[in-house]
């Protein structure tokens, strides 16, 4: 990294509780703080913007899986849980995805950098024009695949839970990047424009597979309807 970066980690153990380091902070030294149990909340939610590349239906023509392509590197982050409902805390901050690391085809860590670019306001129709239908061999749970037309691919917002692992500072003590660890494969999916109040009724999917492009960016994400496997196999 060309410029020295100070890091504040929320995972590395330290001694002496949350007391401040004596003698001030060295310009290029790393600062590691571990929150006390129950005293600091590091859970956040990221909202990604994707377009539907295809969807798979069960033999009963019920939703089974979604194949999504990112339509932006811009994401929004907000506090998770009851904290975001507190006055002045329902903030959504814009970041840009810098790097993504996978483990067993799932997102393990993601690094974000501050962005002045705002996420584009996207409106998505609750219907889609279908360009093709095919039966996927071997996909017993969701064998019917529908492919939307190129011009009519709807967008969805995917909200995923993460934990803040590390905050990295620039020499001027501005936030240079934030590293997040994924805390669950379950995500919520909703159409854009429904508002934050609709998130409670959003469908819950499991992130079953993530593919990265050669440049390390997210290329494709596959979601399966959470809990659908047992119902479909019955």
Instruction: Please indicate, yes or no, if residue 220 is contained in any of the structural domains.
Output: yes
Range of the domain at 169: 6-11+40-233
Residues facing residue 103 across a β-bridge? 106
Instruction: Please indicate, yes or no, if residue 100 is contained in any of the structural domains.
Output: yes
**How confident is the model at residue 122, as a pLDDT?**
59
Instruction: Please indicate, yes or no, if residue 26 is contained in any of the structural domains.
Output: no
**What value does the mean pLDDT take over residues 172-187?**
95
What gap in Å lies between CA 158 and CA 151, rounded to an integer?
21
Instruction: Please indicate, yes or no, if residue 161 is contained in any of the structural domains.
Output: yes
Share of the chain above pLDDT 90, in %: 44
Q: What is the pLDDT of residues 90-114, one digit of tens each?
A: 578 999 999 999 999 999 999 999 9
Q: What is the pLDDT of residues 133-168, one digit of tens each?
A: 888 887 777 788 888 887 767 889 999 999 999 999
Check pLDDT > 70 for residue 13: no
Instruction: Please indicate, yes or no, if residue 22 is contained in any of the structural domains.
Output: no
> E-assigned strands of 60-202?
63-70, 74-79, 93-103, 106-114, 130-135, 144-148, 155-169, 175-182, 186-190
Instruction: Please indicate, yes or no, if residue 64 is contained in any of the structural domains.
Output: yes
**How confident is the model at residue 155, as a pLDDT?**
87
Instruction: Please indicate, yes or no, if residue 32 is contained in any of the structural domains.
Output: no
**How confident is the model at residue 205, as a pLDDT?**
95
**How confident is the model at residue 60, as a pLDDT?**
85
Number of domains in the chain: 1
Instruction: Please indicate, yes or no, if residue 221 is contained in any of the structural domains.
Output: yes
């Amino acid at each position: 990294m060309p410029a020295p970066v100070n890091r504040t980690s929320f995972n590395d153990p330290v001694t002496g509780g949350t007391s401040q380091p004596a003698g001030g902070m060295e310009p290029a030294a790393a600062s590691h703080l571990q929150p006390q149990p129950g005293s600091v909340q590091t859970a956040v939610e990221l909202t990604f913007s994707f377009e539907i590349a295809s969807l798979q239906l069960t033999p009963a023509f019920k939703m089974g899986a979604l194949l999504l392509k990112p339509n932006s590197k811009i994401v929004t982050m907000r506090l998770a849980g009851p904290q975001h409902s507190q006055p002045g805390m329902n903030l959504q901050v814009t970041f840009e995805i810098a790097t993504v690391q996978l483990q067993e085809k799932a997102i393990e860590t993601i690094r974000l950098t501050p962005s002045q670019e705002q996420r584009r306001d996207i409106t998505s129709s609750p219907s889609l024009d279908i360009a093709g239908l095919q039966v996927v061999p071997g996909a017993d749970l969701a064998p019917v695949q529908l492919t939307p037309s190129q011009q009519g691919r709807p967008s969805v917002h995917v909200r995923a839970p993460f934990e803040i692992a590390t905050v990295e500072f620039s020499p001027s003590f501005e936030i240079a990047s934030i590293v997040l660890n994924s805390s669950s494969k379950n995500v919520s999916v909703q159409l854009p424009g429904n508002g934050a109040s609709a998130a409670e009724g959003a469908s819950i999917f499991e992130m079953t597979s993530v593919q990265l492009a050669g440049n390390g960016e997210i290329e494709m994400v596959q979601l399966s309807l959470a809990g659908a496997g047992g119902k479909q196999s019955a």
